Structure 1
Amino acid sequence: MLNKRNNKYKISLQEIELKEGTSSGKTVEFEFENHDNILSLIEMTKDSDRFENKAENVEFIVGLKLFSEVLLRNRYNPLFEDFAPAFKEFINKLKGK
């Protein structure tokens, strides 16, 4: 079901340490598609001064792209009904429109 207009990615998330100081070592790995070239976006913004902690630029892009693609695919889901207009405004502000 690969849409040729999308890029395909795999994310692996590994539990390193929980706030209590423990870790089960659990991991989650999943594949997803996105219309943007996420690695290119990360490369362009990783050294941005958007956040004081430079690593947060990468966290921000990955989180934003994961969330926004789900929102786009489910734009008519009642869950996003009230949120979608504000998100569109946010994206326009982010892109400088």
Structure 2
Amino acid sequence: MKGHLYKVTLEHLQDAKGQAVDDSKLVFETRNHDDIFKIVEMMKGKMDIDETDAIAFAVGLKLFGEVMLNNRDVELFKQFKPHMTDFMKQLKKQ
């Protein structure tokens, strides 16, 4: 499979009440046709959101978008594709 290979690690540090959470971790590898690090750098300062939100947004959007591309025959993704296309066009204008 072509594309950039990433290892994603998500650690749950605190619950909704601020209590520490131990040993809750997701780790997986995934591919993406884009260089996510370059996308993250482009997103910083592009929108009127803080840097942490920009990073989370860029990473989440790229992971979601790649899943949609890889599973374009799934009915839910077929229905959502026109909205995603419009959204991406608006985002690129920012």
TM-score tier after normalising by the smaller chain length: 0.7 to 0.9
CA distances 1:19-77 after superposition (whole Å, capped 9, x unpaired): 1233233111000000000011112222x151332211101100000000000111111
Q: State the match for 1:50 in structure 2.
A: 47
Cα distance in 1 between the residues matched to 2:25 and 2:10: 5
Assess, with a 3 A threshold, how the Cα gap between structure 1 residues 18 and 51 changes in structure 2: closer, same or farther: farther
CA distance in 2, matches of 1:52, 1:44: 13
Tell me how large the CA RMSD over aligned residues is: 1.4
Q: Give the paired residue count.
A: 92
Q: Aligned partners of 1:39 and 1:49: how far apart in 2?
A: 15
Give the superposition deviation at 1:10. Answer: 0.5
Corresponding position of 1:24: 22
Percent of residue pairs bearing the same amino acid type: 36
Shift of 1:80: 1.5
Gaps of 5+ in 1: none
